[in-house]
Every structure is written in C-alpha cells, then in structure tokens.
Amino acid sequence: MMNRLTKISFASKVVIPVALLAISCAKYKSTSIDPGTVTPTLSTTEVTLKSMPFPMGAAVNVSLLKSNTNYRNLVIKEFNSVTAENAMKFASVHPSKDTYTWSDADYLVDFAVANGKRVHGHTLNWYKSLPDWVNNFQGTTAEWENLLKTHIQTVVGHFKGKVASWDVVNEAVNEDGTMRPSIWLQKLGVDYIGRAFQYAHEADPNALLFYNDYGHEFGPTKRTAILNLVTDLKNKGIPIDGVGLQMHTRVTQSDANLSAAITTAAATGLKIHISEIDISLNPDNLQTMTYTTALGEQQAAKYKAIVKAYNAIPKSQQYGITQWNVTDADSWIPSNYNRPDWPLPFDAQYQRKAAYQGILDGVK
C-alpha cells in the first residue's frame, strides 16, 4: 500500500508541473510574437532503470521471455543489457561432442538486437553446467586442450559481432583463496585460465573479456586471491578487460565490505561489472518469514549503498550493473535454498519494490 501511495504521490508531483508547463507552452506557441524564441522541449519519459548513468541489465530466462508477456515487456522497458541466465552455458549450447544447440541463445540475441539491448555472454568456462560427455571425457592433455579451445572459439565465433562481452572464466577461486579443483584445473593446470582468454580473443578481438566470481564482499581472503589472479593475467599481457563481481549478497552484509569489494576491484584499472546482483532478505532460511515494509526498506538501503559505491568509480570502468533474474517470482534463490525470499527490485507481480527506488537514489 505504501508503495502505491508513494507512486501516486510521485506521479502527481510530475504530472501537475508538466501539465502546467504544457498549457503554458501551448499558449505561447499560439501567438506569432517573437518567432525567434526557442520553446523548450519537454520530456515526459518515465524514469526507468535505463535512465541510470551506466548500463543496467538482467539475466534472462529464455522460456519466460518467449511465453510470458509481462516478463518480456518488463525486460524491454527497464533494461538496456541482457545476460543469458542459462542459454549460453556449456551444457545448453554444446550438449554432445559434435553437437551445438543455438536456438535459445540465438533467440535471446535476436530479441536484444530487435530491442536495442547489449548482450553479455555467460559463460565460456565453468566447473558446473557441464554435459556428461565432458565430465566423462578420457582424452590426453592435448585432447583436453583442444576440447577447451574448440568450445570457446566455436561459441564466441558463432556470436561474433553480436555479443559485446563474455564471462570467459567463471568461479575459478575457492573461498579460502586457493584455486578451485575443477576438472579444468585437474586436466590442464592453472594456466588454462589465461589460455581461455586468448582463445576467446582470437575468436572475436572486439569482444570485452571478463573474469567473473562471487564473494568479493565476503572479506579479504577470496577477494585478494581473485584480484591477484586478474592482475597477474593483465601483467602477462593476457587479453582481459574486466572483472565481474557477482554480488549475490544479503541484507546483513556490511556497507564497508560491499564498498571494499567494488573499490579494490576498480584499483586493478579493469572494467567493473556488477554481474549478478541480488540481495537476499532471508539468509537464515526462516521458513515462516514474510515480506514486510521494514525489510523492503533495509533492502533498498543496501541496493543504494552498492550503487553509490559503484557510481563513485571512474566512469570509464563502469561496465554496468546486472541483476540475476528479473523479478522475485523467477529468482533462483527461493528454489535453490528452499525458502521464501525476495531478492530483486521487482516483486512477483512485476511491480517495483522499495529496492527499485534505492537503486535510483544511489546515483543522486
């Protein structure tokens, strides 16, 4: 109810002055006196996330994009960048050794082109979402290398000129700062990371290439390991353009940690993409929790703090902020953790929550 009242009050503040100005302009235009005076152009465009001073994106579920008009219209209205939630992951596009399945990923790219949106590709290399043929692959080191290279170059090559940027390697660092013992590390050693970037760059020299991970805001242990990794790649001349901070965070995380995550990443000089943001309200998995106005305001304050810290880094490094999923109804969190939660700026009815205004307030 409060949100509705706020909206009405905001609308009335905007509509009345605009209406008065429109009347006054119409009155002025009807006279032929002083034809040299320029009548100011009035903008009645509604403020949306697309009005932010850097790109705002969402990770999109292609099935919902195809089948749910409310979902599709919200993506068109609010965002100027899209990421494939699952449609570009290894298992989705490369289900068997000699088979690539492009339909969902192509659909998303075509949708983005038709609606003037940037596409961020996710992800070329990850330890999860691998098809059985990769998990069971018995090849030599050279054959594993060929598998990695062929997959990356086929996918990037397919979307060359259409996908602006890629998460090349995703989540290669453990919470304790060690390298994650993924199948890629086991078969190819730690240098597979740098080679993945080189292969992607060869396939599309114009695409911007990111290392993407979560947990920068947990504290210095994982964060330092990630920053050391990307700095080392940069110093070796590996074609890395940016760092993705997933920012799957919670309302209880301190503003100091959130700010430190952003500012330390920016100190690398690379572009910074807050790539998967959502802010959980129920990290303790309370099964009886319900959404309240007070919780909504806490969440809004947290979104504002993150946006404010991000807006303070150099403009040339601001690649944008992307939320993971579009509304609370399609968020991965409630199903993944089997709990009620409301992590996004839009509720299950596609309406803006307090968090939405928090995002806008972060750049004021």
The answer to whether 210 touches 168, Cβ cutoff 8 Å, is yes
DSSP-assigned states of every residue in 55-86? -EEEEE-HHHHHH-HHHHHHHHHH-SEEEESS
Residue tagged 């659909």 (tokens) = 107
Q: What angle do CA 5, 10, 15 make, to 5 degrees?
A: 125
Which amino acids are annotated catalytic?
A: 171, 276
**Residue 60 β-bridge partners:** 84
Q: Is 153 left (phi over 0), alpha (psi -120 to 50) or beta?
A: alpha
Q: Output the six-digit token pair for 304.
A: 């504002």
β-pair partners for 322:
57
φ, ψ of residue 359 in degrees (nearest 5): -65, -50
